[in-house]
A and B are shown apart, each in its own frame.
Chain A
Amino acid sequence: MNVLLSVEGLEKSFKDKKVLHGISFEVHSGEIMAILGPNGAGKSTTIRNIMGIMMPDAGEVTFHNHQGKGIPRNKIGYLPEERGLYKNVKVMDILLYLADLKDYPLKKAKERALEYLEKFDLKGKENVNMEELSKGMAQKVQFISSILHEPELLILDEPFSGLDPVSQEVLKEEIRNLAKKGTAILLSSHQMNLVEEMCDRVFMIQRGHKVIYGSLEEVKREYANFKCTIHGKNDVSLLERIPEVVRVEQKDDISIIYLTKDVEAPKWLKTLPDDIVINELTLDRVSLHEIFIDIATDKNLLKESERQTFEEEVGGENA
């Protein structure tokens, strides 16, 4: 997969506050890359700097398929987080205007617009005024406007916010299709389940700093330890005595046992004592959602678990 966009050492300050600290990543064509992070982490600022809507204080943004200076605006589709469209104009008019601004041939734009309106369940709405559309419908029109001109790079800032589950599915499907056809997609979101489902790689950002960067698998392997969830009334101390356990969280009759990083699942299962009550047992990795919350709330449980493991090892050696 060839690199379409690379961002290197992006720095940006507002007034005296530095909001981006040396942000670097790449987006390849045909992949879905997610920028994750809590509110105010710097996702939208990063995206705006890529789009040239803001100028970075330092660092470089390179579009590899583009010769010459500036940003190849015509090859980029952009759906900002703060988005809307003119109120008192017809759906088709606004779509054609935005396509025209991208220098896309109007006839083709019209055909594609009708196609996409049908795909997004908006058939027959082309001559309706924007203000008559529901919020979800308007969002779909905004999405169509960002992909109508067949961009090589599609930047979506929180594309799923405000959409109902059905529309979310349609949108997800379309984003996947675009990636399959070779479009490079950079999307930001805090809906971790969606990101986990569809992204190839993730870049997690917190207070303007890179926290995690890599393919979803790598990230999971690196950060997502196993956790074992047991339904059944058990004593905490009993569970804590099981080897390779970092921490136990208990709520009612459900216990979540966080395991160390290098645990081998089948072996560990065999170490379970005979006297614990198991009505139901699941063994899975900590989800992206949990990692995200972990980072966003500064708990850094994962790091803590690493440190604990380390201390235990050191302690063990000393003993």
Chain B
Amino acid sequence: MRNSLKVAKWEIKRNLKNKTFLISLFVTPLLIVLFGFLGTLFGDDHSEDATVYVNDELGLFASMEAIVEQAELDLELKSTDVTEADVEAELEDSENTAYMFVNETALTEGIIPVYASDDFSNEGQLQLLTQPVKGLQLQELGLTQEQMAAIAQNIIIEVQSLDDLQDNGASEEELLAGEDPNMQRVVPGIFAGILLLSIIFTGMMIFQSASQEKKDKIAEIILSSVTPNELMQGKIIGYFVLSMIQAFVILAFALGFALYKLDDIPIIEYLLQPELLLFLLIAVLGYLLFASLYVGLGATMSDISTAGNFQSMIMMIPFISFFFIGPVFADPTSTLAKVLTYIPFTSPTILLARLIRMDEWVWMEIGISLVVLVVSIWVMMKLAGKIFKVGMLMYGKNATPGEIIKWLRA
């Protein structure tokens, strides 16, 4: 163990003194923040208000404007005299614009003709503007204000879960404070997600470190002082610390950015939840699994550029789970999601995604998944150790799948 720590210390020191590592340490979070920032720029651009010209013959313009204001619609209403006959010419040169004709036909037939430019995409919001017309229709039928209100009022289903009933008081307070209970999972979840991602990427550095040591032929010199297992463990520990440093830098950037952009959400409060501990545990287990995979893989290759199909495929294993993130997010309780939670190489990512999305945590599933992870880490470390022992001393060529299997059997 002492030797493992020496190796770990060396790997950390060596990388921290290395310009390439230092540059990527700070450039990675900068890129992430930059993309985030660009995203919000585009977002702002998109939500620019659309202009709606209303040719109002029924005197409902004022009520429509009131609706736009109340519902915070992305629309800007303008009164106009343009007739339906001239509308084509008017629309020709305009962007994100619509013409709405509120006249007798609307009242009698219930149809409001709207002419819109090609890029107009707020049809859904326009629908809300029909409410005053509906009101006028009802008024003409001679209903009283109360009758009209009753008809105009949509009927809403209000679901209250047992939890809601139990901590009714508390949740009301939270809601009053503008807090969203979901954020308590999402924020630590994002935190752990960033951690896992940076851990996977740094895990790939282990792979490089192992294959580089083979290429530089230093492996045998090191192995004359430490056992292969000590060397392997040292690498795993060392790169774990490095990935923590990387994650810390990314998170510092992300947190700073989030605090600056979302100053009305108490991010730190959301972050420091008991859930965070479980998320961190999953991220660390994920690291150990992928790190042992990569360290074993690195020992079978003399150079990353000569990686065969077999090796490239293994290298992609940790990324398989990202293909399933979409479906799992959409339905975290689906059979697919459950099965993926129990498959070693997808379980860290998928479990994390599910825990963020699920309202009710099924501790049984979490427990099984963690056991699967721990067992597969143990197996993977054993296998990686065997491959590492032989592979590190094989110079000049990549191991074939057949050879690797032979080493595993030895």
Contact = CB atoms under 8 A, between A and B. Distances in A.
Interface string A45-61: 00010010110000000
Interface string B217-236: 11011111110000000000
B22 to A, nearest CB: 12
List the 4 shortest-distance A-B pairs measured between CB atoms, nearest first.
A84-B217, A101-B225, A78-B224, A80-B220
A41 B7 CA distance: 34
A183 interface: no
Contacts of A108: none
Interface stretch (B10-18, B24-32, B96-104, B327-335): B10-18
B225 A85 contact: no
Interface of B: 3, 6-7, 10, 13-14, 17-18, 213, 216-218, 220-226, 393, 395
A87 interface: yes
Nearest to B215: A84
A129 to B, nearest CB: 10
Given A80-B221, A83-B217, A101 B226 contact: yes
23 contacts: A53-B220, A53-B223, A53-B224, A73-B224, A73-B225, A74-B225, A76-B224, A78-B220, A78-B224, A79-B221, A80-B220, A80-B221, A82-B217, A82-B220, A82-B395, A84-B217, A85-B221, A86-B14, A93-B14, A100-B6, A101-B225, A102-B225, A146-B221
Nearest to A53: B223
A277 interface: no
Contacts of A142: 221
A88 interface: yes
B211 to A, nearest CB: 13
A89 B14 contact: yes
Contacts of B225: 73-74, 98, 101-102
Nearest to A85: B218
B224 A83 contact: no
Given A53-B393, A101-B6, A84 B216 contact: yes
Given A100-B6, A101-B3, A85 B216 contact: yes
Of the candidates A86, A102, A145, the one having the most CB atoms from chain B within 10 angstroms of its own CB is: A86
Nearest to A155: B224
A268 interface: no
A187 to B, nearest CB: 15
A100 B393 CA distance: 22
B220 A101 contact: no
A146 B14 CA distance: 20
B395 to A, nearest CB: 5
Q: How large is the interface on A (under 10, 10 to 19, 20 to 34, 35 or more residues)?
A: 20 to 34
B14 A83 contact: no
Nearest to A83: B217
A29 B6 CA distance: 30
Nearest to B21: A88
Interface in A172-222: none
Nearest to B14: A89
Most buried by B among A74, A80, A145: A80
B410 to A, nearest CB: 10
A184 B393 CA distance: 26
Contacts of B17: 89, 93
A97 interface: yes
Contacts of A83: 217-218, 220-221
- Among B10, B13, B220: residue with most chain A CB under 10 A: B220
Given A54-B393, A82-B217, 8 more contacts: A53-B223, A78-B224, A83-B221, A84-B217, A97-B6, A101-B6, A102-B225, A146-B221
Contacts of A73: 224-226
A68 B17 CA distance: 39
A101 B393 CA distance: 19
Interface in A85-111: 85-89, 93, 97-98, 100-102
B407 to A, nearest CB: 12
Contact of A145 (B3, B13, B221, B226): B221
A145 B222 CA distance: 11
Contacts of B6: 97, 100-101
B14 to A, nearest CB: 6
Given A83-B217, A87-B216, A89-B14, A101 B395 contact: no
A145 B18 CA distance: 22
A225 to B, nearest CB: 40
Contacts of A82: 217, 220, 395
Contact of B216 (A74, A86, A98): A86
Nearest to B406: A15
Interface centre among B17, B18, B221, B222 (most CB of A within 10 A): B221
A43 B240 CA distance: 39
B393 A84 contact: no
Contacts of A78: 220-221, 224
A84 B7 CA distance: 17
Contacts of B224: 51, 53, 73, 76, 78, 80
Contacts of A51: 223-224
